[in-house]
Structure 1
């Protein structure tokens, strides 16, 4: 049995399959063909998909529940106040009980160790819907969005990240490199990428000839970028440090100054929710922004994850429609 924990756990070919499956299900969904809908609806009919969420969510909850319903499963949302997890019952006990009754578990949790514990004790696939180290569903969604907008298969692209060294860029950087894109990461002084990600990225670049750059200069990183992307500077659970973090991130807002040195046809991405300190309104709502197309694609990323890890039991080589 295989779980979806991070993009670095997948081969380049396996990750490509996930992005292509997301693209496939988007076409099915948009075509609105009742025959196709019925065929997919039967795949998990009568089953339940659990959503264990320790953190609040908009896109992740809607996309996960929507993907489960698409395949005929009943989504069951289990928030931190809905079950005994970590209160009157151990992680082990809860995982054993929940996984015995469901087809898979979407887990949006705090620490990576919680994802690891779920994977260790679960009898069904765990789909990491966010932890403090990784966010693989966002990476699948982002690669589908870039493929649609700029076609990384036909064009050599540079993706520039301006912001924190967090879970989103950990998976996004690896995803971009696996698909042949170059990456530049600009973080404030004192903030460095996780060494595990740096090592994994180095191995990919050596293998496929892509490039990755780490810098504390946001303008230098933005030069020639085809995609400018950022995320929140103050993650959930870090609100106590907001004043200090915003001071540290001065000069890292994506604005017209950075846009002026990017590729003339650059696209702006953000996984949302967005705050003003991260990007100016003219960029966020402007002609280069694809944030809402990106948000919609979370649905198809969740569909791809269920299809590969649940419907096809983690077998990437024999995908069945």
Structure 2
């Protein structure tokens, strides 16, 4: 049984398959051909997909429930106030019970260890829908968005991340490098990418001929970039440190002054929700921004994950 834990755990080919499937399901969903819709709707008809969410969500919940419904499954949302997990019941007991009644569990949790506990004891595939270390569904969605906008298969692209070293950049860096794109990470002094990610990224870089650059100079990092990406400076659970973090991240807002150093046809991405300290309105709402297209693509990334890990039981070539 295969689980989706991180992009690092996928082969290059497996990542390509997930992105290509997301692209194909987007075509099917947009076309709304009755025969194709019915054919896919029957794949999981009568089945249930559980969503165990310890953290609030907009895009992840909507996309997961929408994807489950597309395949005919009934999505079951289990928020932290809906079940006994962490109150009167252990992770082990909850996992055993829930996984005995559903076909898949999408888990949006706090720690990476929670994901590992789920995968260890579950009877069904676990799809990591965010933990403090990884966010693979976001990375699949992001690769589809870049492919649609700039076609990384035909063009040598340079993607630059400006901001915090968090779960989103961890999977995005690995995904970009696996697909042959160069990836630059610009973080404030004292904020470093995880050594686990750096080691894995450098191995991929050697194999693929793609380049990883780590920098604390936002201007230098942005020069010539085809894609600019940022995310929240204050992650969920870090609200207590907001004042200190905003001071630390001064000079790392993606604005017109910074973006002028990027490629003239650059694209801007943000996984949302966004705050003005991360990106100015002038950039976020400009013609360069593909953040809302990116948000929509979360639906098709979830479809691809369900198709591979649930419908086809982990067979990427089915």
TM bin, normalised by shorter chain, reads over 0.9
The equivalent of 2:156 in structure 1 is 156
TM-score, length of structure 1 as denominator length:
0.99
Q: What do residues 215-259 of structure 1 show as CA deviations (whole Å, max 9, x unaligned)?
A: 000000000000000000000000000000000000000011111
Q: Deviations over 1:61-115 (max 9, x none)?
A: 0000000000000000000000000110000000000000001000000000000
SS of 1:130's partner is: coil
Mapped partners of 1:90, 1:133: distance in 2: 22
Find out whether 1:204 has 2:204 as its counterpart.
yes
In structure 1, C-alpha distance between the alignment counterparts of 2:184 and 2:220, rounded to whole Å? 9
Match of 1:297 in 2: 297
* Pairwise CA distance, 1:273: 0.1
> 2:257 maps to what in 1?
257
Aligned residues: 318
- TM-score, normalised by the number of residues in structure 2: 1.00
Match of 1:283 in 2: 283
Deviation at residue 212 of structure 1 after TM alignment:
0.6
Give the corresponding residue for 2:17: 17
1:125-140 matches, cutoff 5 A: 125-140=125-140
User: 1:273 aligns to what SS in structure 2?
Assistant: coil
1:161 aligns to what SS in structure 2? strand
Matches within 5 A, 1:235-246: 235-246=235-246
Q: Does 1:230 align with 2:239?
A: no
Deviation string, structure 1 residues 280-314 (Cα, Å, up to 9, x no partner): 00000001000000000000000000000001110
2:132 and 2:310 mapped to 1: Cα distance? 24
Give the aligned CA root-mean-square deviation in angstroms.
0.4
Q: Which segments of 5 or more consecutive residues in structure 1 lack a partner in the other structure? A: none
3-state SS of 1:124 partner: coil
Write the distance in 2 (CA, Å) between the matches of 1:135 and 1:289: 21
Q: In 2, distance between residues paired with 1:277 and 1:29? A: 35
Q: How many angstroms apart in 2 are the aligned matches of 1:206 and 1:293?
A: 32
- Give per-residue Cα distances to partners, 1:32-78, cap 9 Å, x unaligned: 01110100011100000000000000000000000000000000000
| Counterparts of 1:316 and 1:77, CA distance in 2 | 27
Q: How far apart, in 2, do the equivalents of 1:237 and 1:53 lie?
A: 15
SS at match of 1:51: strand
- The corresponding residue for 2:48 is 48
Structure 2, unaligned runs of 5 or more: none
- 2-structure distance, mates of 1:252, 1:231: 11
The one-character-per-residue Cα deviations of 1:186-236 (angstroms, maximum 9, x if unpaired) are: 000001110000000011011010001000000000000000000000000
Residue of structure 2 equivalent to 1:274: 274
**Which stretches of structure 1, 4 residues or longer, exceed 6 Å deviation after superposition?**
none
In the TM superposition, 1:171-210 aligns within 5 A as 171-210=171-210
How much does 1:316 deviate? 1.2
